[in-house]
Chains A and B, each alone.
Chain A
């Protein structure tokens, strides 16, 4: 009963936020609402017991993407210009209604959420629940599936992140000739108010080591609890972004130069894919960690540790590459 009330409340907030996002024209407010939207989604995932997903949504959706959107607004404008376009809204409206209707139709005979008899629970899921611990030695089943059973998908996801980073570098990287807009962000970041605000400086100095420590915990504790390389990489990068926001971009780039970031981003993917190559050379199939050590469990442990490290490295450096690319645009 209480579950239903929580669900209805959260979904209602979600709908209200969505409508508000559509109605508002102040982009700064919209970005904040996007953050709230992500947090509400994360809460819904927690209600559904999907804590790993909730963690990622909170770190990526509410955290880093809000920062990136703010950086974009700093480059452009903070309000939406209403233009009277010749677009007729009827076709898009019809498409949206048809899609919504199709989704409702599709869920008419879908098994109820959490139904233990549903196909989603009775087929592969049963196998993972029974075998993940004895076969991989990892108590967190999500990590076992993500890093081992479907480790190849995760390699693909890390490559997606790398691709996003390369795409941003190609479009608005350091030596990109298409950059025309000068940005005010740089002045904003160097602005006297922020840099000289004692409270901010001291608070961030205290926070940054803790954030890094927490990131390391999330990175290496992913086998046992929610977390892993994706979340850890995002959290770690947020520490550097906080430093950049308070002490200026130049300082942050002195801490981690962009050439090093590029190397790290590539290295992360090479480590992940390289673990697979090592397993090939040891006579196993690609990404079959069991051949990495004497026992299957030890091999799985080592393999998962290494690939999560690769994930963390790539995610961390790509997030920073994207942030620096946006924030540093138009610098002399």
Chain B
């Protein structure tokens, strides 16, 4: 029975677990439930990806109503991969959360904290799994509302203002998306993505459809924090509780990017991106994002904020891949989507380990800690190398495919930007490593011990993943090509 319902269970299990976690009296019990649920989802997402790759796309009719009358879950290689990323990161984050959340979240709030975490998790998976464009909006609301609340739980008072800023920007994004869906519904009469794909080619010349498309893109560009709509992201990532930063940085933007890819290439007819200025705008925003955000990252004094700006830059690379509007470009975007989750997850976890020990992560607080916390330092170095794109790490594979995609179109400027962006990453990661290792430790830092194993083990799982997927690119590249084909991008 289970095999027919995998794609559904993946969303419904955390959805049912969330209200249960909210009424459990002990924080540890909620944590246990969250651990079991996220691990189960990780296994299910793995099975789902295997099933999709071997047996083709899955369609699940919710309520037993055939699409387009009812809501459909439709899974191909791309959303199966994104669902796997989301649930894998969740399953790795939850063990890490036990100590980190107990330190940062007031004890009596812990059951509700895990409940909100599960809601965010279910929301992100719901967006990923669905084949219905309005259902995307509903689950987007679930994941957004819960992430605003989770971000506001950070220890500093700025957490409240940054959550509020994100709430305003995120709500604007969701509203824009809804307006876009409404306009497109007016010209097609359907909400099912496959049905839209069939009905849209006839009406793509209409002003309503163009406007609807623009509203949907801007809406998700806000959620994705695509340059220059990224202003909410650095604050939100800096002040959120560590666990939430890890989880959101590695998953939320990936899911937003997935929706963009799906709408650009599956829902709208092939070639719409290159006929309209969409592709060029993505390329422009990507280039500007990589350069500006990387330079901003260099000047940050807070390590979390530095990494947040780096995230904006990495989103820029993914946007460039979309901008090429080619099979190679989209493949590179999907590869980087996967790899970036691994590197940013590892980096934010390692920085979280430092925060766990000294309660801060400003450049002047962390001086000399590298020698006191060798495993944490090692994780930052390796994940940092991956972020830069050094051969032997996952980041290299991303950059390599992105450069290949640029070369294919003889976009020399883009090639230059990608390489220069890596140089800027060397500078900002170098700053962190210099502070950690080459600066003399202050009196207070000399007595700091290595982080507990419960924080280090999840971090190093991601660090090893960075190395493994750097040496063995077969899985990532294979799935990404499969996914790009499933999206409907014509292979040249």
Contact = CB atoms under 8 A, between A and B. Distances in A.
Interface of A: 102-103, 105-111, 118-125, 127-128, 131, 148-153, 155-157, 159-160, 162-164, 166-167, 169-171, 173, 175-178, 262-263, 265-267, 269-270, 273-274, 276-277, 279-280, 284-291
Given A148-B63, A160-B141, A177-B106, A109 B189 contact: no
Contacts of B68: 123-124
B63 A106 contact: no
A163 B12 contact: no
A166 B111 CA distance: 10
A270 B8 contact: no
A266 B187 CA distance: 39
Given A109-B207, A176-B109, A285-B60, A273 B12 contact: yes
Nearest to B149: A167
B351 interface: no
Contact of A171 (B5, B152, B215): B152
Contacts of A121: 189
- Interface of chain B, helix or strand or loop or mixed? helix
Given A266-B19, A266-B22, A270-B16, A110 B135 contact: no
Contacts of A107: 183, 208
Contacts of A266: 19-20, 22-23
20 contacts: A106-B215, A111-B186, A120-B189, A125-B189, A148-B63, A153-B71, A156-B135, A156-B138, A159-B142, A160-B141, A162-B119, A166-B112, A166-B146, A167-B149, A170-B113, A171-B152, A265-B19, A270-B19, A274-B16, A280-B5
A106 B212 contact: yes
Contacts of A164: 145
Contacts of A166: 22, 112, 115-116, 119, 146, 149
B134 A153 contact: yes
Given A152-B63, A277-B12, A285-B60, 14 more contacts: A105-B207, A106-B215, A107-B208, A123-B190, A150-B70, A153-B138, A160-B142, A164-B145, A173-B109, A175-B108, A176-B106, A262-B23, A265-B22, A266-B20
B188 A119 contact: yes
A103 B211 CA distance: 7
Nearest to B214: A102
B18 interface: yes
Contacts of B191: 124
Given A120-B189, A150-B70, A162-B18, A285 B207 contact: no
B109 A106 contact: no
B149 to A, nearest CB: 4
B148 interface: yes
B15 interface: yes
Contact of A110 (B64, B119, B152, B186): B186
B29 to A, nearest CB: 14
B153 interface: yes
Contacts of A127: 69
Contacts of A106: 183, 207-208, 210-212, 215
A167 B135 contact: no
Contacts of A119: 186-189, 199, 203
B185 interface: yes
B62 interface: yes
Given A153-B71, A277-B16, A285-B62, A175 B109 contact: yes
B153 A284 contact: no
A169 to B, nearest CB: 6
B189 A110 contact: no
A61 B34 CA distance: 35
Contacts of A175: 106, 108-109
A196 B132 CA distance: 55
A129 to B, nearest CB: 12
Contacts of A265: 19, 22
Interface string B17-48: 01110110000000000000000000000000
Interface in B189-216: 189-191, 199, 203, 206-208, 210-212, 214-215
B179 interface: yes
A158 B116 CA distance: 14
Nearest to B167: A167
Nearest to B24: A266
B63 A288 contact: yes
A131 B65 CA distance: 12
A173 B16 CA distance: 22
Given A149-B65, A162-B19, A273-B12, A170 B189 contact: no
A270 B187 CA distance: 37
Given A103-B179, A110-B183, A175-B108, A170 B16 contact: no
B189 A124 contact: yes
B160 to A, nearest CB: 8
A150 B132 CA distance: 10
Most buried by B among A176, A286, A289, A291: A286
A171 B112 CA distance: 11
Contacts of B139: 156
Contacts of A124: 68-69, 189-191
A284 to B, nearest CB: 6
B126 interface: yes
A274 B20 CA distance: 12
Interface in B76-103: none
A156 B126 contact: yes
B270 interface: no
Contact of A286 (B5, B132, B138, B150): B5
A242 B41 CA distance: 44
B23 to A, nearest CB: 5
B112 A285 contact: no
The 10 closest A-B pairs by CB, nearest first: A106-B211, A288-B64, A123-B189, A266-B19, A167-B149, A156-B138, A119-B189, A152-B62, A175-B108, A287-B63
Given A110-B187, A284-B64, A285-B61, A263 B23 contact: yes
B185 A102 contact: no
A270 B23 CA distance: 12
A127 B20 CA distance: 38
A151 B65 CA distance: 10
Contacts of A290: 64
Contacts of A276: 12
B169 to A, nearest CB: 12
A124 B195 CA distance: 11
